[in-house]
Amino acid sequence: MVSKQIVSFEEFMEQVRSYITVPEDLKRIEEAYEEAKTLHQNQKRKSGEPYINHVLWVAFFLSELETSPNTIIAGLLHDVIEDCEVSKEDLAKQYGEDVANLVEGVTKVKRLEQNVSEQLAETHRKIYISMAKDIRVIVIKLADRLHNMRTLDYMSPEKQKRIAKETLNVYAPIAHRLGINDIKTELEDLSLSYLCPDEYLEITQMIESSKLKREEAVDLMIEAIGHLMKLENIPCKITGRAKSIYSIYKKVFEKHRPFSEIYDLYAIRVITETKLNCYEVLGIIHDHYRPIPGRFKDYIAMPKPNMYQSLHTAVVGELGNIFEVQIRTFEMDAVAERGIAAHFKYKEGKSLSPKQEQKQIEDKLQWFREFVSVSGEQTDTSDSKEFFETLKHDIFDANVYVLTPAGKIVELPSGSTPVDFAYRIHTEVGNSTVGAIVNGVMVPLSTQLHTGDVVEMKTSKKHQEPSEDWLKFVKTANAKSKIRSSVQKRLNENREERIEAGRHLLKEEINKRGLDEKLYLSAKPYDTYFGVLTVKDFDGLLFSIGSKALTVHHIFEVIQIERKPVSEIDKIIDRKATNAQMHPDGINVEGLSGLKVSLSKCCSPIPGDDIIGYISKGEGVKVHRVDCPNVNSEASLKRLISVSWDKRALMNHQFECEVMILADDRPMLLSDIASTLGQMKISIRNLDVKVKDASAMFHLTVMINNAESIKLMTANLMKVSNIYEVKRVIN
Ligand code: MN
């Protein structure tokens, strides 16, 4: 990475020749340099140096990333449209469309930046959009920004702060996102030095004061580990690693950790040849130095979203210091330092056209383009802040990289589901999705995807109906808007049809139940339940039935349960039993005497239960529990009569009571039940046992005094192991 501020043309060309050898390309680069020199000849930087130094530095930086000849030429000419009144057409004529487009892209970003003040977020958004069009523009822009940050001293304090802030908020995250780590680190450190100069100074002084001690410890550790690797014959390169000032700042000043606790100050990196070597190195280091628990991370098996791979661990070093150790292959190291740049490194001979090159890179950023196109419809400035937050989130927060069965990488924001994946592939795929297979296993559509997952969608030609429920879990703006529009369209198209279908289904059920068709095909019986059923009106109800969102059965259940009879029963119960007659069975019947009274068999009421009488045809008064469904029908309302228990008459009286016991079957279970009841002196009248698989169901008729005794019996039975439910039976 370029550490010098000023680069000579000779140094620059030497670097270029190290990977570009085609004479024609070299000639074009030299021409571009001469042209830039002439065009900028009367211009000076704020520092007083000739302007050409700036563009040469930018181009040198790009050559260090081994970018293509066109990118380097664009780097040399990146300021000429803006500063030298050269037109895009002129550039196109001389250097081709590709170079002209790149320079124009950089110029656009620059112009937008100059109008930052008010509409910060909006400006940034436009910057991103222009970036999305060509990633090489971003890389040139990053180089430009890095050099400007290095020479920011010559600007006014106000401008310094503004540019530093923008760099920290926008450019450093972009560098991180693209995985260009050293640029990210330097941009952050430089920004911090302008934004928080005091803290910056404090940290650098702390680092400086511990420098000698630290270097000594690091050197010792490098030597010791190097020795171990030699013994094991593992090829490797070991380096000490400086911790970025910004990362220390965040820990010390934002997370309030003491400076002395920041382990990472002692850090080394072991770079080796193969993945296997990495794990071997890890094993050897853990074998010789005590690892710190919880500090090991395997980013080789689980790469970071920006493709970073490494093993991280922390161990106690030779002198008792804690060392952070990174272990990776040379290839991983290149990706870690150069990120996306490592992927689009220019290769001669394997000639990709600018278009192909661009396509490759754009594929990586496809999610981003799509994001821009989706939100383009609704971006007024009022929402720009929120938009910017979302955008920042979508770009910089961890993304996941999943694979199609054919091995194509698809990038999605983290938290994305197979449905997001489907819509990313194609709207048609999303709309016809019926299932998803992740890593060979059928999973729910709401499953969150992880980097490395292989995702295969199950689609159906007949089924073109994305479910509204998907909106609850999809992550991408694209999937959301596609589902919404499809659902909306479908609803509007079929509304009338569905209402008719609903009416038909309702009518069928009404006839089946022998209900009054005129009444039940109107809003009246349902209108107080529209809220409960989450429909707006009767048409809405029919629509829900017609679209299978509600069943008629369920609707009838709702209006049945919520109907009034229970409270009517309450009224009857509340009426004072003035002329109550005592009955031999211990039942008082309000205002009536000489009636035959019996306890109903269906719910077997016992003293303590709330009861109600039902005047049956020819069988006198039948006594039910008030919650017995057999008396809770409209038809029975008129025949209900208040009844009550006569406690005096009921002492020592025993009643039949049916109970059901559910249990996981085991040996001796029945005899344990019998002895529990025996201890309570409860006799069993009848017993029926059903065992299926491992579960047992006991149906007992017992003789019992009152509801209190039942409670006690239930409690005792529940103590018997394997029994999980005891309940009274209503037939
Ligand atoms: Mn510039």
Q: Catalytic site residue 609?
A: no
Paired tokens of 287: 């074998």
Most confident of 366-375, 453-462, 608-617: 453-462
CA 323 to chain centre: 34
Distance CA 451, CA 269 (A): 25
Q: Where are the beta strands (DSSP E) in 317-448?
A: 322-329, 399-403, 409-413, 433-438, 441-443
659 C-alpha vs ligand 1 centroid, how far in Å?
Answer: 87
Q: Check pLDDT > 80 for residue 661.
A: yes
> Over pLDDT 90: what percentage of the chain?
22
Please give the span between the terminal C-alpha atoms of the chain, in angstroms, as a whole number: 85
55 C-alpha vs ligand 1 centroid, how far in Å?
Answer: 6
Q: Check pLDDT > 70 for residue 577.
A: no
Check: CB of residue 583 under 8 Å from CB of residue 594.
no
Check: CB of residue 166 under 8 Å from CB of residue 116.
yes
pLDDT value of position 153? 87
User: Catalytic residue among 30, 49, 82, 370, which?
Assistant: 82
Other C-beta atoms closer than 10 Å to the C-beta of 34 total: 12
Coil/strand/helix, residue 601 = coil
Rg (CA), the chain: 40
Query: Tell me: the pLDDT tens digits for 414-454?
Result: 789 999 999 999 988 999 998 999 878 888 999 998 766 78
Nearest to 569 by CA among 613, 508, 604: 613
Paired tokens of 173: 């995250």
Nearest to 416 by CA among 297, 340, 305: 305
324 C-alpha vs ligand 1 centroid, how far in Å?
Answer: 38
pLDDT band at residue 2, thresholds of 50, 70 and 90?
low
User: Catalytic residue among 11, 83, 273, 468, which?
Assistant: 83
Other C-beta atoms closer than 10 Å to the C-beta of 217 total: 21
384 C-alpha vs ligand 1 centroid, how far in Å?
Answer: 27
Most confident of 142-151, 525-534, 620-629, 701-710: 142-151
Q: Catalytic site residue 394?
A: no
44 C-alpha vs ligand 1 centroid, how far in Å?
Answer: 12
Q: Check pLDDT > 70 for residue 379.
A: no
- Name residue 645's beta-bridge partners: 587
164 C-alpha vs ligand 1 centroid, how far in Å?
Answer: 16
65 C-alpha vs ligand 1 centroid, how far in Å?
Answer: 18
Q: Check pLDDT > 50 for residue 385.
A: no
Coil/strand/helix, residue 553 = helix
Query: Tell me: the pLDDT tens digits for 342-366?
Result: 555 565 555 555 555 555 554 544 4
357 C-alpha vs ligand 1 centroid, how far in Å?
Answer: 24
Q: Where are the beta strands (DSSP E) in 303-418?
A: 311-316, 322-329, 399-403, 409-413
79 C-alpha vs ligand 1 centroid, how far in Å?
Answer: 6
Mean pLDDT of the chain: 79
Residue 110 or 506, more confident: 506
Buried b / exposed e across 44-70, counting CB within 10 Å, b at 16+? ebeeeeebbbbbbbbbbbbbbbbbbbb
Distance CA 625, CA 602 (A): 9
